[in-house]
A and B are shown apart, each in its own frame.
Chain A
Amino acid sequence: MAKIEKFANPTRFLRLQEKVQLWLVAITVILFAVGLYYSLVKAPADYQQGETVRIMFVHVPAAWGATMVYAVMALSSAIGIIFRHPLADLSAKAAAPIGAVFTFLALFTGALWGKPMWGTYWVWDARLTSFFVLFLLYLGYMAIWQAIDDHHRAARIAAIVALVGAINLPIIKFSVDWWNSLHQPSIMSMKGSSVHSSILIPLLIMALAYSFLFLTLHLLSLRAELRKHKIRQLQMQAAKRV
């Protein structure tokens, strides 16, 4: 905990971010290159789904990423509300657009996977609907930051929305178990994986690539948010001088 607090200091964070940025970019690029090679070349076509199974390697990591980013956002919001830490609210704010893009990609690629497999782009079943709600939550969260000028007020309201919206995460996860759904059940569970290693390996590499992409962009975006915060302070000081 002391270590986390140490790096949660904005100045130390900026120094650390500068140090790790290039490494993170390099790891992300390598993971995507290897992941795409495995997904498009090495992985075999499925005996039932044929080549469309390859959509899984962009759809599932985007979906996992979308829920993971929301969990990060909710956790940051909770830290912001409880400890009033300056980095926590900005961390949640920086994560939201990345999560929204991941969610859109999961919905879009899911729709394109659904057409050849289910015969339809969209059905209002529990998994798809709860994921669409996640997308709306991201948009709502970002709209609050845009709509309210007062930073502290925006942070409080946005944090409450993020925390209330976190109820949706277990609904997304267990929707395929709780209700009848066209969507396939989870492929990963505590007991292990239900897919063959030739499919699982590219899937995990791509999931790791998406995770590192999020980490890289989140740190960079958080850096920009910190800079903008400082800019606002300087502009207010300059206005007082005039």
Chain B
Amino acid sequence: MDFSAPHVDFVIICYVVSAVLLLAMSTMIVMRSRRADRQLAKLETERAKWRAAKTATR
């Protein structure tokens, strides 16, 4: 790519903005998925504890 060509700044902005937005979206989706996994694991542990306590009181 010729960096001295006219309008090359438009090309660079397009690639940088695309990269930033796609990376940000990917990161957000991965973080959301991990957060949901953690939250579900926590709730399932709580439910297992509640069931164990209920069985013990019978």
Q: Which A residues fall within an 8 A CB radius of B?
A: 40-41, 45, 50-52, 54-55, 58-59, 62, 97-98, 101, 104-105, 108-109, 112-113, 115-116, 213, 217, 220-221, 223-224, 227-228, 230-231, 234-235, 237-238, 241
Complex: A11 Cα to B1 Cα, angstroms? 48
CB closest chain-B residue, reference A230: B40
Contacts of B8 in A (CB 8 A): 51
CB < 8 Å: which of A54, A101, A227, A235 contacts B1? A54
B50 touches A227 (CB 8 A): no
B7 touches A51 (CB 8 A): yes
Complex: A128 Cα to B22 Cα, angstroms? 22
CB < 8 Å: which of B10, B17, B30, B35 contacts A52? B10
If over half of B's interface residues share one DSSP class (helix, strand or loop), that class is named, otherwise mixed; here it is: helix
Would you give the shortest CB distance from B30 to chain A, in whole angstroms?
7
CB < 8 Å: which of B10, B29, B37 contacts A112? B10
The 6 tightest CB contacts between A and B, nearest first, are: A227-B36, A224-B33, A116-B7, A51-B5, A234-B43, A109-B14
Q: Which B residues fall within an 8 A CB radius of A?
A: 1-2, 5-8, 10-11, 13-15, 17-18, 21-22, 25-26, 29-30, 32-33, 35-37, 39-40, 43-44, 46-47, 50
Complex: A112 Cα to B15 Cα, angstroms? 11
Contacts of B36 in A (CB 8 A): 223-224, 227-228, 231
B14 touches A113 (CB 8 A): yes
CB < 8 Å: which of B2, B15, B46 contacts A58? B15
Given contacts A58-B18, A101-B22, A238-B47, contact A52 B29 (CB under 8 A): no
Contacts of B10 in A (CB 8 A): 52, 55, 112-113, 115-116
Contacts of B44 in A (CB 8 A): 234
Contacts of B25 in A (CB 8 A): 97-98, 101, 217
